[in-house]
Chains A and B, each alone.
Chain A
Amino acid sequence: MAHLAPTPVLEPGQDRTMILNMGPQHPSTHGVLRVLLEIDGETIVRIMPDIGFLHTGIEKTCEAKFYQQVVPLTDRIDYLCPMTNNLCYVLAVEKLLGLQIPPKAQWMRVLMNELTRINSHLVWLGTHAMDIGALTVFLYCFREREEVLNLFEMISGQRMMTSYFRIGGLALEPPLGFFERVGKFAGYFPEKVDEYENLLTGNPIFMMRTKGVARLTAEDAIALGASGPTLRGSGVDIDLRRDMPYSGYENFKFKVPVAQEGDVFARYMCRVRELRESIEIVKQALDGMPEGAIKADAPGIVLPDREKMKTQMEALIYHFKIITEGFAVPAGEVYQAVESPRGEMGYYIVSDGTPKPYRVHMRAACLANLQTLPKMCEGGLIADVVAAIGSIDIVLGEIDR
């Protein structure tokens, strides 16, 4: 929104070029991204993304809420991977508090996080293929995504805005039959990935639209702050789950897909392989799921069980105090980063010792990834901009916050 009026951001540099406006209501911009293109014929001379249309001031809102009230806000930042955001926020607050989380809660968090990654990648795969012209894949992807959303609904009561992770553990015990249903999904999902790959990976039209298109070198990707598959697609081998583990990820064995070419196809291959790795992590989490509590033993921070609240006076007092006046968090600051489906999602939280955060800042992976768009597109064709935007996998809610 920053630059709609009165002056255009881009002025034609020469007589032969013109300015083309794309978005913010263009279907291939995945929400409300506006892109200004300076074009010479069909070749792009300059390109400038314009963002801010979804800005809702979430960071400011957080400063007026208790710590536990921020959790539902984090869902709404990146609505395709709500639990990754929940996780990043609660890990940061737990680090501020110095809170230990029971193993079952940690494993459940990993399990749900990987399902979230599958959910997010399926939306990306469907829409990315649709942008390039392969309409069918969308329907296939949303078939499996539906099951993932059903699982979310089963465990948290919500399909998208789950708020399932809480400071100190999880909101609810997983319901009966949940693990069986996840197991069934994990059993048939790899075949479905084969199906998507049959439609796309060897498809000559898809390859022509993606191979060698929108190249990004490793040096440029690092310099521009890209992360996640956008960085790994350019041959940089880093994944925070493996390299700086959090929430018990060190207990899981998985490969980190890296591709060297740095084009749209490389990023596509990274994400599709990640789908397979994620389902492997889900299987490991199911097999090794520990028994025990799902909440840390921290009265005054974690809400007591319903049952205890009705029978024990202390529990009722704690419940009342947490809800009405929150809990004080020792002064300090932390930066916690997790590997979201899009890259490095980070929360920087500053506490001044009161029950409300002094400052919450979200490091949005997409914001940095979007900066690679000019490097990818300048000198290319207009039609390739659509492929490039799809391959970065942007979510405007996260960029604008």
Chain B
Amino acid sequence: MALAPAITDLEQLKTHPAVARLLAWNASVVAGVKFDREEMTIYVDRANLREACALLRDDPACAFNFLSDVTCVDWYPAEPRFEVVYHLLSIPKKERVRLKVRLDSASPAVESLTSLWPGANYFEREVFDLFGIRFNGHPYLRRLLMPEDWEGHPLRKDYPVEGYR
């Protein structure tokens, strides 16, 4: 039952290959880091997300070549409200890293990763559908699961679980 406390100090974590690579490229990209329960999380600046992912994918020391998952967490009513969460897997290194982008409720938009991984297509459409996050540069950003004429985004926290909206 003993959980090690989460490490959020950038100094202690800058030897992690993914963090080191991003810092070497542009120190302002890394907005924060967290190592908790054996999992690495890097908070990435929204403007540089696509370039950061391209770096992590193509750098041989990182080789995060597989996009496992894209999802979102709504921290309503806090601001910045949304966290878009990317899980990358390195098939050669058998390692995972989690990238996060914080978005405020005024402009919940981030660049699409479909140009790097075409597989991001459905994941991003799902996030758009259920959270209302816009992905700039997505080839076909339409609802995926809900009906086309649905109003609202069901997984937002201000959307009720049951009853009328």
- Chain B 43-60, CB-CB to A under 8 Å as 1, else 0, gives 000000000000000000
Cβ–Cβ contact A334 & B39, under 8 A: yes
**Contact of A348 with B71 in the complex, beta carbons under 8 Å:** yes
Q: Which residues of B contact A226 (CB under 8 A)?
A: 119
> Contact between B6 and A371 (Cβ–Cβ < 8 Å)?
no
Nearest-neighbour CB distance to chain B for A267, whole angstroms, equals 18
Question: For the complex, is B61 an interface residue (Cβ under 8 Å from A)?
Answer: no
- B158 contacts partner chain A, Cβ-Cβ < 8 Å: no
Known: A55-B145, A371-B121. A222 touches B69 (CB 8 A): no
Let me know if A96 and B37 touch, CB within 8 A. yes
Q: Which of A56-64, A80-88, A131-139, A144-152 contacts B (4 or more CB under 8 A)?
A: A56-64
The CA-CA distance from A244 to B91 in the complex, in Å, is 11
Measured in the bound complex, the distance between the Cα atoms of B2 and A64 in whole Å is 27
**Residue A101, interface by CB 8 Å:** no
Given contacts A51-B144, A335-B87, contact A348 B154 (CB under 8 A): no
* Interface flag for B36 (CB, 8 Å): yes
- Cα of A55 to Cα of B154 in the assembled complex, Å: 12
- As a 0/1 sequence over residues 339 to 356 of chain A, the CB contacts with chain B under 8 angstroms (1 = contact) are 000001010101000000
CB–CB A224/B118 < 8 A: yes
**Looking at A97, A344, A368, A370, which has the most chain B CB atoms within 10 Å of its CB?**
A368
Partner of B119, one of A1, A223, A236, A400: A223
A222 with B118, Cβ < 8 A, contacts A63-B161, A332-B6, A346-B87 known: no
Chain B 130-152 interface 0/1 with A at a Cβ cutoff of 8 Å (1 = within): 10000000000011111110000
Which B-chain residue is minimally distant from A5 (CB atoms)?
B148
How distant is the Cα of A401 from the Cα of B96 in the complex, in angstroms? 25
> Which A residues are CB-close (under 8 A) to B39?
333-335
- What residues of chain B lie closer than 8 Å to A335, measured between beta carbons? 39, 68-69, 87, 96, 98
Name the residue of chain A whose CB is nearest to the CB of B159.
A60
Is B143's CB under 8 angstroms from A95's CB?
Answer: no
Q: Which of B89, B96, B121, B154 contacts A60 (CB 8 A)?
A: B154
- Tell me which residues across on chain A come within 8 A of B143, comparing CB atoms: 2, 52
Q: Which of A95, A243, A298, A400 sits near B94, CB closer than 8 Å?
A: A243
A55, A330, A335, A401: residue with the most chain B Cβ atoms closer than 10 Å: A335
B85 beta carbon closer than 8 Å to chain A: yes
When chains A and B are docked, how far (Å) is the Cα of A316 from the Cα of B112? 52
B68 touches A298 (CB 8 A): no
Chain B 61-77 against A: per-residue CB contact (8 Å), 1 yes, 0 no?
Answer: 00001111101011000
When the two chains form their complex, are residues A371 and B73 in contact, meaning their CB atoms are under 8 A apart? no
- Do residues A225 and B119 form an inter-chain contact, with CB atoms below 8 A? yes
Is the CB–CB distance between B37 and A332 below 8 Å?
Answer: yes
Asked if B94 and A98 sit within 8 Å, CB to CB, the answer is no
Q: Are B69 and A361 in contact (CB under 8 A)?
A: yes
Cα of A334 to Cα of B41 in the assembled complex, Å: 10
CB-contact partner of B147 in A1, A99, A370, under 8 A: A1
Distance of B26 from chain A, by nearest CB (Å): 25
- Measured CB to CB, the closest approach of chain B to A14, in angstroms, equals 20
In the complex, A3 has a CB within 8 A of chain B: yes
The A233-249 residues at the B interface (CB cut-off 8 A) are: 236, 238, 243-244
Return chain B residues, CB-CB under 8 Å to A236: 91
Q: Are B147 and A2 in contact (CB under 8 A)?
A: yes
> Smallest CB–CB gap between B106 and chain A, Å?
22
Residues of chain B within 8 A of A224, CB atoms compared: 117-119
A134 → B minimal CB distance (Å): 31
- By beta carbon, the residue of chain A nearest B147 is A1
Please name all residues of chain A whose beta carbon is closer than 8 Å to the beta carbon of B117 when the two chains form the complex.
Answer: 223-225
Given A2-B143, A346-B87: A225 and B68 interface contact (C-beta under 8 Å): yes
Contact B91 A363 (CB under 8 A): no
How far does the Cβ of A339 sit from chain B's closest Cβ, in whole Å?
12
**A to B CB contacts below 8 Å, 26 in the list:** A2-B147, A3-B142, A5-B148, A51-B145, A52-B147, A55-B146, A57-B154, A60-B154, A95-B37, A97-B3, A98-B1, A224-B117, A224-B118, A225-B123, A244-B94, A332-B36, A333-B41, A344-B68, A346-B68, A348-B69, A359-B73, A363-B69, A363-B87, A368-B119, A368-B122, A368-B123
Closest 7 CB pairs of A and B: A225-B119, A98-B3, A52-B145, A224-B119, A363-B69, A55-B145, A361-B71
Residues of B bordering A, CB below 8 Å: 1-3, 6, 36-37, 39, 41, 65-69, 71, 73-74, 85, 87, 89, 91, 94, 96, 98, 117-123, 126, 130, 142-148, 154-155, 159, 161
Beyond A57-B154, A64-B161, A371-B119, 17 additional pairs, beta carbon < 8 A: A1-B146, A1-B147, A2-B144, A3-B148, A5-B148, A59-B155, A97-B3, A98-B2, A223-B119, A225-B120, A236-B91, A238-B91, A333-B39, A333-B41, A344-B89, A358-B73, A367-B123
